[in-house]
Amino acid sequence: MLRFILKRLLQAIPLLLGIATITFAMVHLAPGDPMDMYMEQRFQREVDPQVIELLRKKYGLDQPLPVQYAKWIGNVAQGDLGESFRYRRPVTSLIAERVPYTLQLAVLALFFDALIGIALGIISAVRQYSRTDRAITVGSLVMYSIPGFWLALMLVLVFSVNLNWFPTSQTRSLDYELLSLPGKVLDRLWHLALPVFVLGVASAAGTARFMRNKLLDVLSEEYVVGARARGLSERAVILQHALRNALIPIVTIYGLALPFLLGGAVLIEKVFAWPGMGLLAVEAIGARDYPVILATSMIAAVLVVVGNLFADVTYALVDPRVSYGGKRLA
Amino acid sequence: MTTLRSASLLALLPLLIAGGCREARDPGLGRGATVVMAVPDVSDIKPDELALEVLIFLPLATLNEHGELEGRLARSWEHSADFKEWTYHLRTDLRWHDGKPVTARDIKFTLDLLAHPAILKDVGYNATIVDDSTVRIRAAKPDYLDDIVFYPEHLLKSLDPRKFWEWDFWTHPVGNGPFRFVRYLPERLIEFEANPGYYKGKPRIERLILKFVGGAALTELLSGNVDIAQVQQTQIPGIANDPRFRVYRTVTSASHPIYWKADHPLFRDSRVRRALIHALDRRAILGVMNLPPDLPITDAVLTSRQFRRREWPEPLAYDTTFARTLLAAAGWVDRNGDGILDKDGRPFRFTASVGSSFGLEKMAVYVQAQLRRAGIQMDIQMFDESVMWDKRRGGDFEAWMFVQGQLGGPFGRGNPLGYANVQAFELIDRLRETADPDEEDRIYREISKVFLDDPPMVRLLTHSQALFVHRRIRGFRSGLGSEPDGYMDELWVEK
């Protein structure tokens, strides 16, 4: 098992290096200059071109691209992600501030997805072709198809602007520090409600569809028919036999879902002014803040690799039939 | 299933209860003289952020609503004949928020600090301390330093300038301005309180909260979470009739023009460029862009002072007949009857590179329709803001539609527009050598005359920003002055 994980991690190195090279090339070859943020700032004052040249030199932007690349890779290998052009602060500290916010959203959205998606999938499968099944099927398809940013804006319009039930932005109330501990917890949940719902609802709809189909497949397997023939109750058949096997592929989905949730968080963070990594990445792209763009892209790439690995390993752990490299892992 | 449904409802219940309690827990509104203002940046606060610059710290002097220099840290000043050396006499009643007096040492310290190679914020100033309350500043170029604020030497001199942008001081600033720093909650807000020791008297707004709301300014405003928010042009119809708010506009001498690539075969003839001004109904564009009808339209280029004094000459008239006459004189006539003018077998067709902000796309479509009526086909290509600057720098465009701030850059010698008017070059050279406001005014008037005959652009709109303000907040000045942050000490909350 350990060998398998190490092998996969070693395989990931050239992959990540490739991604790093392509991302670096794309970012630097794309039109736009990071020093443009100093151009006619606030439409009133043009920064002295001499100052811009000095800044260019400071950040190494005056050097040939291969030299810039070699320096960047060398620094990244030592854990130094550089200094943000825009904030003029180390990228690692910027990201360290933002990651917890994004993880809050992503983890709660995954939880929401699992809770609602699996439950609806089971109900749908158990009541196949019933009105409930049809309603869940149609509802899932609709929720799966709705663009996240549109849903976010609609929810803000209805629940924040019109009904005034939920906040429109930020992670906490202005007076958060004055609240008691339960008050603080409620306040955080209150702020998380809409973004988590938007982020989790589409994947929950997908999970529901997947769960339904998988459970129906399993329910038609011989061992389930055998269990029924032995006189087990339908509840026992589903909970003790069918459900466990139907849940196995779901594990794979969750392993792969995390990077996609982070991708979705970019838009959600923008709409709700949620100060996470996604918003940082969007702002960085707009400002051509190369070090931040590269760092956030690399983190996303690492998450995809780790997510895949997690999916493979957990799949092997929960399903004894799966083996890697000729040996069973579990 | 029943258990699951109950669990879901139970999970939502506290949220709904919390939501219901919202009004009682949000301290922003309805608490006397507290004002909450939405600011877009959800990022860190930085020393060059406007909030710090004008609420906490003071410049030596600042331009007032009429374009006159008005003292802040300085009570008086004199300058050398070439305007490169200024001697400022500081007020003697000024104190930092920690009680220490503001002296000439702080001015010199700040200018030296900002020129440090690790900071490079404002360079080229050489300050000499004459005495505690007098400082002489020599600048490489004529300048009157109205936009540099100063920091306390006694708190910063021992800090490492290489870590300037990371100093804790910026998140706990000690200034000398109308508001004192209270707290900074990263990514959320920065809070100030009125400074009772402010030299102009304690501001009437007792507590000011700048709430970082990213792109959610409009919804924050509509939800009643903030009192003041800047609203994008395209969002105005959604809020214009809301009785809770008044709209204030800040207007600057910057503009949204279309630059023509003056060395392009289509635009080489100055008669064509003049015709393009007459072909556009700019008053109608104001309506299209949700702007008030009295927003100035001008073909003249103006100094900030001229603009603030409303020295706006009448713009060239919208006159399609005259435009067609000028175009015909330049050889552009619709010979094949397809509705597009042509010359030497070439149709009058070009592509305008348009910036993707400020709602310029909408304006570009309107311009396109107007020019079509004059027999000109304009295609539109939208570009990201940063790409637009790249295009201008490289001269890679036929027409360029974005924003123009200062005059100097785009029209001087070797400009990327291919604009080659020697008279304009000489005037712009003269402009770079003076900081005499009267002389600047004269030069701008002369440049404006040159531009009437040989225009490098059409100034479509004056750059303006819409600020929606809760009715209870009073004291806003004309939009020609600085942004409200700059005179927040003069506002008050109606009881």
What digits encode the pLDDT tens for the residues A118-174? 999 999 998 888 999 999 999 999 998 998 889 999 999 999 988 889 998 888 888
Beta-strand relationship, B125-131 and B134-139? antiparallel
Unique residue bearing structure tokens 């170029």: B141
Tokens standing for A64?
A: 């040939």
Instruction: For residue B166, give the nearest of A94, A289, A57, A99 by alpha carbon.
Output: A94
CA end-to-end distance (rounded Å), chain A: 8
Report how far residue B338's alpha carbon sits from residue A137's, in angstroms, rounded to the nearest whole number. 55
Nearest to B25 among A36, A89, A173 (CB): A173
Residues in A closer than 8 angstroms to B124, CB to CB, are 48
Q: B122 versus A68: which is more confidently predicted? A: A68
Residues in B closer than 8 angstroms to A31, CB to CB, are 384, 386-387, 390-391
CB contact under 8 A, A46 and B406: yes
- Tens-digit pLDDT profile for chain B (495 aa)? 334 334 443 444 444 444 444 443 344 444 568 999 998 775 656 777 666 778 899 999 888 777 788 899 999 999 888 888 999 999 999 999 999 999 999 999 999 999 888 887 777 788 999 999 999 999 876 666 777 899 999 999 999 998 888 888 988 899 999 999 999 888 788 899 999 999 999 999 999 999 988 888 888 999 888 999 988 877 888 788 899 999 888 888 888 899 999 999 999 999 999 999 999 999 999 888 888 888 889 888 888 888 888 888 889 999 999 999 999 999 999 998 999 999 999 999 999 999 887 788 889 999 999 999 999 999 999 988 778 888 888 888 999 998 776 665 677 788 888 899 999 999 998 988 887 888 989 999 999 999 999 999 999 988 888 899 999 999 888 777 777 778 888 899 987
Is the minimum CB–CB distance between B432 and chain A shorter than 8 Å? no
DSSP letters, B28-86, are SSSSTTEEEEEES--S---TTSHHIIIII--BSEEE-TTS-EEESSEEEEEE-TTS-EE
Task: Give the pLDDT confidence score for residue B408 in this predicted structure.
Answer: 57
Q: Angle B461-B324-B341 (CA atoms, 0-180°, nearest 5)?
A: 100
pLDDT digits (tens, 9 = 90+) for A186-241: 999 999 999 999 999 988 999 999 899 988 888 888 888 888 888 778 788 888 77
Residue A6 has pLDDT above 60, yes or no: yes
Instruction: Give the three-state DSSP class for B269.
Output: coil
Helix%, strand%, coil% for chain A, nearest 5: 75, 0, 20
**Which residue type, as a one-letter code, is found at position A208?**
A
Task: Give the pLDDT confidence score for residue B9 in this predicted structure.
Answer: 39
Computed over its alpha carbons, how large is the radius of gyration of chain A?
Answer: 24
Is the minimum CB–CB distance between B4 and chain A shorter than 8 Å? yes
Tokens standing for B182?
A: 């209270």
H or E element, residue B260: strand B245-260
* Residues within 8 A of A (CB atoms), B 161-180 only: 164-166
Residues in A closer than 8 angstroms to B13, CB to CB, are none
Average model confidence (pLDDT) for chain A? Answer: 85
Unique residue bearing structure tokens 């990213």: B214
Task: Give the pLDDT confidence score for residue A208 in this predicted structure.
Answer: 92
pTM summary value: 0.81
The torsion angle over the Cα atoms of residues B91, B96, B98 and B104, rounded to 10 degrees, is -80
For B79, half-sphere exposure in the C-beta direction (CA atoms, 13 angstrom radius) is 17
Task: Give the pLDDT confidence score for residue A73 in this predicted structure.
Answer: 92
Instruction: For residue A171, give the nearest of A185, A161, A157 by alpha carbon.
Output: A185
Report how far residue B194's alpha carbon sits from residue A122's, in angstroms, rounded to the nearest whole number. 60
